[in-house]
Amino acid sequence: MLGKPALPSINLDKTPMLLKIFRETSAVVQVEILKLKRDPFELFSRAVQPLLWLLVFGKVMAQVKGVAENEIDYLSFLAPGILAQSLLFSSIFYGISIIWEKDLGVVHKLLVSPAFTFSLVLGKAMAASFRGISQAVIVYLASFLIGVKVSWSFSSILGVVGLVILSSGLFSTFSLIIACLVKTRERFMGIGQLLSMPLFFASNAVYPLSLMPPVIKFLAQLNPLTYLVDALRYFMIDSGAPEHSMIWNFGILVVFFGLFLYIATRLYPGIIR
Amino acid sequence: MASTLTNNPGEPPEQALSAAIELVALSKSYHGFHVVDAISFKAGYGRIFGLLGPNGAGKSTTVKMLVTLSESSAGRAFVNGFDIEKQTQAVRTSLGYVPQLISADGNLTAYENLNFSAKLYGLLHSERKPRIYEALTFMGLFEHKDKIVKNFSGGMIRKLEIAQAILHKPRVLFLDEPTVGLDILARSTVWEKLRYLKSELNTSILITTHSMEEAEILCDDIAIMQQGKIVVQGDIKSLKETIGEHASLSDVFVHYCDNSMVDRGNYKDARQTRFTVDKLG
């Protein structure tokens, strides 16, 4: 039977901090992947929307010729935008699972453990990134099938994977912040709907910044999705021309992700109050 | 199996070891309202302490502060000799917690649930499997280790949560309404396991409960809370003697609680209790 604990000391975890963060974060990610493998329906259902955007909206808009086609056709212009939209939409509602875990009591178990809160938040973000990669695979394949000039070089794919991990983490952490603030599923759904469409349309996902009225253009320049789309366009599409340097695009995304991680780490313990 | 709970860095100061749990004027206020109002008590090592009281008395809030889920507004408290505000990591390593809500993940197997906890508690890779098997065997769940938890009965879920809470061999165990929603057989099993943990492993246990039967069967000492204050505390036998020769614990409870204010829970408390009962029942 269970060995008697020696009185009265305890064994504090002496693992170096980075190793401890890695162990705890990967534990959270593994659990999320297990659950997703057991019930992959969500992955398939989330694939429908980007496919509709590409196959219906994209095909129709390509006929309209509203967007000037310089070096790339409209479908090739649109595909990275739809990948970014897919990542945004799947991550922005990630917080609802956090509220569900809070209502069940699972969060209580996590928060009384000696694990760093930062690790728990980062683990959730990385789990969302895993989902993001599956979305990227679907959009990549669909884009290829409809004739988009997708870049298959190793460095391009590596760049896209990096962006998917970073942006899914960013938007899911943003979602976790909202969940910590609103605390109920009903309110969360309302806020999620309220934020997702403006974030999508006030970006360069479906039309270039140059076509936007000044106010929308200004808002788009404050929107991290704009920088994600710009970087995706560079990596994902052959001869894709970015508007900003990659250092700038990645820098903006890293800064937003770092800021959201910090805020979410501070707010997460308060979700149960 | 050799215990891993033997090293020095987490050792609390000697003077703090007289009690497994000690509260000194601990308070919690929301918007000026005292949910927990300067309560003090000590729970000894190797004993079961019952925190009793009507709905909304402040029992769960007190436990949440002790397990570091909620910050106190004033006062101090120690768990295994560690200050709950200043030595949070040491407190968390010292304790196991079974909340009233369901903390086991229904989409994982029993083994996966415990393995996840083992990783969060920093158990060495080589220790995890034997420790998980040991805890599952102790709680009578070994044959169910590879079954998905959402197919478990309420009693099995509660047993799994206790297995999860004792996996790292905590010195102090907190259980918030551990048998709410369970049938008599499942309740008896939980009581039997808790008594074993106390008597054989010297685990100190604090439970909150509405059930006088549960308190009478399990607890060595109790404190009755009402409206955030402790109205009486002591060992059960002495408290009964203060009421009368044949007094029951229910008599003690009714005697010390103001009947006009017995049930002060709010909508959230009621929803939480019914949710748990619904899921476990």
pLDDT-derived band at B6 (thresholds 50, 70, 90) equals very low
Pairing of strands B204-209, B172-176: parallel
What average pLDDT does this structure show over B83-95? 94
Pick from B10, B120, B148: CB nearest A11: B10
Q: Is residue A216 part of a domain?
A: yes
Between B93, B106, B200, which is nearest A114 by CB?
A: B93
Residue pointed to by tokens 């994902």: A236
Q: What is the pLDDT of residue A210?
A: 84
Answer with the residue of higher pLDDT: B32 or B50: B50
Burial class (CB in 10 A: 0-12, 13-18, 19+), B265: middle
Q: Which helix (H) or strand (E) holds B24?
A: strand B21-30
Say which residue, A21 or B270, is predicted with more confidence: A21
Domain-embedded: residue A211: yes
The answer to the question of residue A1 being in a domain is no
Question: How, if at all, do strands B95-98 and B48-52 pair?
Answer: unpaired
Higher pLDDT, B265 or B127: B127
Banded pLDDT at A194 (limits 50, 70, 90): confident
d(CA B144, CA B161): 14
Averaged pLDDT, B61-86 = 94
Look at residue A13 and tell me if it is in a domain.
Answer: no
Paired tokens of B163 = 């297995």
Q: Closest partner residue to A10 among B10, B17, B166, by Cβ?
A: B10
- DSSP string of A34-89, one letter each residue: HHHHH-THHHHHHHHHHHHIIIIIIHHHHHHT-S--SSS-HHHHHHHHHHHHHHHH
Q: Choose among B205, B263, B266: nearest CA to B21.
A: B205
B171 touches chain A (CB under 8 A): yes
- B16: exposed, middle or buried (Cβ count in 10 Å: 0-12, 13-18, 19+): middle
**Tens-place pLDDT, residues A222-231:** 999 999 999 9
- Indicate yes or no: CB of A113 within 8 angstroms of CB of B120: yes
pLDDT: which is higher, A159 or A53: A159
Which residues in chain A are closer than 8 Å to B11, comparing Cβ atoms? Answer: 8-10
User: B120 and A114 in contact by Cβ < 8 A?
Assistant: yes
Nearest Cβ partner for A39 among B3, B45, B107: B107
Q: Which range, of A89-93, A107-111, B46-50, averages the lowest pLDDT?
A: A89-93
Structure tokens at B272: 């939480």
Model confidence over B191-230: pLDDT tens digits? 999 999 999 889 999 999 988 899 999 999 999 999 899 9
Is position A30 within any domain? no
What is the C-alpha separation between A151 and A240, in angstroms, rounded? Answer: 9
- What's chain B's average pLDDT? 86
A227, A247 Cβ separation under 8 angstroms: no
Residue A25 inside a domain? The answer is: no
* HEC assignment per residue over B34-45: EEEEEEEEEECC
Are B10 and A3 an interchain contact pair (Cβ–Cβ within 8 Å)? no
Average pLDDT of chain A to the nearest whole number: 88
Q: pLDDT per residue over A110-159, tens digit each?
A: 999 999 999 999 999 999 999 899 889 989 888 988 888 899 999 999 99
Please report the ipTM that was assigned to this predicted complex: 0.85
pLDDT of residue A240: 66
Say yes or no: B95 contacts chain A, CB-CB below 8 A.
yes
Alpha carbons B96 and B169: distance in angstroms, whole number: 8
pLDDT at A9: 45
Residue A18 lies in a domain: no
CA distance B242 to chain A (A): 35
For residue B260, pLDDT beyond 60: no
The total number of structural domains in chain A stands at: 1
Peptide bond into A8 cis (omega under 30): yes
pLDDT of residue A221: 93
pTM of the shown model: 0.86
Q: How far is A8 from chain B (nearest CA, A)?
A: 7
Residue B242 contacts A, CB cutoff 8 Å: no
Structure tokens at A19: 């190793």
Q: Is the pLDDT of residue A68 over 80?
A: no
How far away is chain A from the Cα of B94, in angstroms, using its nearest Cα? 6
In a domain, A50, yes or no: yes
Q: Is B93 an 8 Å CB contact of chain A?
A: yes
B165: which 2 tokens?
């809470």
Joined tokens for residue B224:
């009755």
Is A112–B116 a contact, with Cβ atoms under 8 angstroms apart? Answer: no
Across the interface, of B2, B103, B202, the residue whose CB is closest to A108 is B103
Look up the domain containing A139 and give its range: 36-272
How far, in Å, are A155, A176, A228, A255, B172 from residue A200 at the CA level?
A: 27, 19, 11, 20, 50
